[in-house]
Amino acid sequence: MTSSTQPPSQQEPRGHADDEISMVDLAKILVRRWKALVTIFALVVAASLIYVLLLPRSYQYVSVYNVAENAPSEALESPSSLVAKVRNLYLGPHIRKLLEDQGWEYLPFEVQVNQPSDTFLIMLASEASPNHASQVETLHAQVLESLQQSQQALVEHRRESLERQLESSREALEAVRGTDSSNTGELIATYTSRIADLEASLSELRNGEASQIALQSLEPVGTSRSLILALGIVLGGMLAVIGVFVLEFASLVCASLKDETTNGTL
């Protein structure tokens, strides 16, 4: 007697077949719940648009200080040392003073200090809204003033030292000229060269100065508003689709619970 029953391995589980959902079913869910789809998408995009409109514009404010020089291409003090001084000595006290003057609990912007490579420049940069432009300018100016005062003291000390050496060399030259010695000519040439070098060093000595204070960038900085809105549109589409499927799943669960309750009552 031949049995028509298929082997267990060839039988498809009935529950598994019932649980399969085709792409057509998914599309039907989206069409059937199009109102929820559009509503969720519109809410997310509207929230993104409101955020973009309320997002304050920020600009970068840059100050530049030219380091004092002994001679062309020779800094009186290394720029890296000056950057460390600004960060550890000058910036903190001036920030505390600004907070006290403005009645702030914290500084609404940061101050970055750096030295562009292969330059004798110290740069202070802050990203802030136009509402805080005056405070940024005040803080930058005060920090650079402290830096300039420190450098000015070094320049004056260097100048006084060169002037003393120059005066001493001139006196020595006059004294040599009044003698009659076999090496007088050699000494005169030495002192004359020495005087010329000192005069050149004096003329090449340059004070440090701030070439610009809190110059505002031409374009806003930070995340582009159009990019935020585009991300909002993409996120809105994703959340709308997910939301529709969540609503469909919730409705199926509620229907199943209702059926079980009704069957149990019967």
HEC string for 154-188: HHHHHHHHHHHHHHHHHHHHHHHHCCCCCCHHHHH
Q: What is the pTM of this model?
A: 0.67
CA atoms within a 13 Å half-sphere pointing along the CA-CB vector of 84:
5
Q: In one letter, which amino acid is 19?
A: D
> Does 94 share its domain with 40?
no
Q: Which of 81, 162, 93 is nearest to 122 (CA)?
A: 81
**Are 171 and 188 part of one and the same domain?**
yes
Q: What 3-state class would DSSP assign to 41?
A: helix
Q: The tokens 């003090």 sit on which residue?
A: 77
232 belongs to a structural domain: yes
Give the bridge partners for 154, in sequence order.
none
pLDDT of residue 54: 81
Does 226 reside within a domain? yes
Residue 20 placed within a domain: no
Strands (E), the chain: 59-66, 69-71, 74-75, 112-114, 121-128, 209-216
Are residues 103 and 135 both part of a single domain? yes
pLDDT digit string (tens) for the chain, length 266 residues: 444 445 544 444 444 444 566 788 888 888 888 888 899 999 999 998 888 888 778 899 999 999 999 888 889 899 999 999 999 999 999 999 999 999 999 999 999 999 998 899 999 999 999 999 999 999 999 999 999 999 999 999 999 999 999 999 998 888 888 777 777 888 888 889 999 999 998 999 999 999 999 999 988 887 777 888 899 899 989 998 898 888 888 888 888 888 777 776 54
Both 43 and 67 in one domain: the answer is: no
69, 149: one domain: yes
The pLDDT value recorded for residue 15 is 45
Together in a domain, 171 and 145: yes
Last residue of a domain, one of 216, 234, 255: 216
With respect to residue 149, please indicate whether it lies within any of the assigned structural domains. Answer: yes
Residue 132 is assigned to a structural domain of this protein: yes
Q: Which residues pair with 128 in a beta bridge?
A: 59
Domain housing 236: 33-56+222-245
Residues 50 and 123 in one domain: no
Same domain, 130 and 236: no
For residue 4, is it within any domain? no
Residue 49 maps to a domain: yes
Both 201 and 240 in one domain: the answer is no
Residue 88 vs residues 35, 81, 258: alpha-carbon distances, Å:
60, 11, 70
Final residue in a domain of this structure, among 175, 200, 216: 216
- 172 and 105 share one domain: yes
Domain count, the chain: 2
What confidence score (pLDDT) does residue 21 get?
Answer: 67
What pLDDT was estimated at residue 165?
A: 93
On whether both 159 and 79 belong to a single domain, the answer is yes
| Same structural domain, 51 and 122 | no
Task: Classify residue 95: in a domain, yes or no.
Answer: yes
